[in-house]
Amino acid sequence: MEQDQLKHELVEMTMRVSNKDAGIAFIKAELLKAQIEGPDTEEVKELKKQNEELFAKIVALQEKMILSKISQLVMEQNQLKHELEEMTMRVTNKDAEIALLKAELLKAQTEGPGTEEVKELKKQNEELLAKIAALQEKMIRDNDAANSRLTLVINSLSHKPLSS
Q: For residues 124-146, b (16+ Cβ closer than 10 Å) or e, as one string?
A: ebeeeeeebeeeeeebeeeeeeb
* % of the chain exceeding 70 in pLDDT: 82
Res 10 pLDDT > 60? yes
Between 2 and 138, residue with greater pLDDT: 138
> Residues of the chain with pLDDT > 90: what percent?
9
Tens-place pLDDT, residues 80-122: 888 888 888 988 888 888 888 888 888 877 776 567 777 888 8
Burial call 85-101: b when 16+ CB within 10 Å, e when fewer:
eebeeebeebeeebeeb
pLDDT band at 137 (very low <50, low <70, confident <90, very high): very high
* pLDDT band, residue 34 (cuts 50/70/90): low
Report pLDDT digits (tens) over 39-65.
666 766 777 788 788 778 777 887 888
Separation between Cα atoms, residue 60 and residue 63, nearest integer Å? 5
DSSP tally for the chain: helices H, then strands E: 3, 0
- Segments making up each domain of the chain, as ranges: 1-38, 51-159
Considering only residues 144 and 24, tell me which one the structure prediction assigns the higher pLDDT. Answer: 144
Q: Give the residue with greater pLDDT, 91 vs 4.
A: 91
pTM > 0.85: no
Cβ pair 136, 95 in contact under 8 A: no
